[in-house]
Amino acid sequence: MVCLHLTQYMGSTLVFGASGQLGQCLKHVVAERNTAELVFLPEEQANILDMGMLQAAFAQYKPAYCINCAAYTAVDKAEDDIDIARKVNRDGAENLAKLCGEYGTTLIHISTDFVFAGTGNQPLVETDEAAPISVYGLTKLEGEQAIPAHTNQYFILRTSWLYSEYANNFVKTMLKLGREREELRIIWDQVGTPTYAIDLAGCIISIIESQSQQYGIYHYSNEGVTSWYDFAHAIFELGNVAVRTVPIRTAEYPTKATRPAYSVMDKTKAKTQLGVAIPHWRDSLKVCISRLEA
C-alpha cells in the first residue's frame, strides 16, 4: 500500500487498479500538486472482485472518494475471454458502487469511447446512444449501467487512446518500433483523440479538490482530432525518429475485436460543469515525449 498524505483536502480517497497506467499517473499528479490524500491499494489488498476484501478496505478508511482504475483492457483477448472481462468491467464496478452507496463515498469510475459503435462523423456527447461493437466495449458499458442502481454519487469518465510515460501504450511502442524498423504500416481510417493519462489524472484530482457534486457521465480526452496514422507521425516527428510510415485501412490489419471508426468525444460538459481545462493532444504529446527522453 502506498499512501500519499497531502494537506489541503480532508478525507481519504481509495484508488483501485493502482499499479496500472492511470494509477501511476495519479501518483505522479498528487505528488506534484500536493492537494489530496490518496491511498493506493495493490490488488492483493483490494481485488475488486473480492467483496470481503473491499468491505475491509472501506471499513478501515471510510473514504470520501473511490477511484476505479481497474479494468480488463485487452480488447482483442476479451473476444475469447468474455467471462473474466465481464467480471472485472461490470461486476467489479458494481461491487465498488455498492460499497460507495453504503458508505456515502463518491465513486469516480473510468470508462471508454468503445461504448460507442463509432459509425457517425460528429463528436459524441454523453447522451448519444451507446452501442458497443466489441466485448470490451460491451462489458465497460455494463459496468456504467450497474453503478446508478447502488449510488447516485458518481462520476463516470469516458476516455480514449490513453498513453503516458508509464506502462505499455501506443506512444512508447511506436518510439521503440520506429527506432528498430525502416517502415511501419499504420491505420489511417480510425479517427479519435489521444489522451495523455497525466491530464486525465489531473481532471480526477480536480474533481476531488473542488468537491463537485455535478454527478453523472462525462467525456474526457485531449482536444483535437486525429487518426492513428497521424498520431504516429506526430510521435516520430516530436521524438526525432526517422522511420517511413505507410497509411493502411483497417481491413488491411484485421483484429479479433472491431474498433470504432470514429470515436471523437465532445468535452463541452466536462469543461462547463467541472471547470477543467483540456490541452490539445499534440501539446500533451510533446510534454510526454520530452519526459520520456529526459
For the record, the C-alpha cell of 80 comes out as 475469447
Cα separation, 192 vs 260, in Å, equals 9
Q: How far is CA 166 from the centre of its chain?
A: 13
Cα separation, 279 vs 276, in Å, equals 10
Which is nearest to 5 in space by CA: 27, 22, 23? 27
Tell me the helices (H) and strands (E) count for the chain, helix number first: 11, 13
Phi–psi pair at 69, nearest 5 degrees:
-95, -5
Catalytic choice (136, 163, 196, 229)? 136
Grid cell 472481462 — which residue?
A: 85
What is Dmax (Cα atoms) for the chain?
A: 56
Provide DSSP, 241-253.
---EEEEE-GGGS
163 among known catalytic residues: no
Residues with a known catalytic role: 136
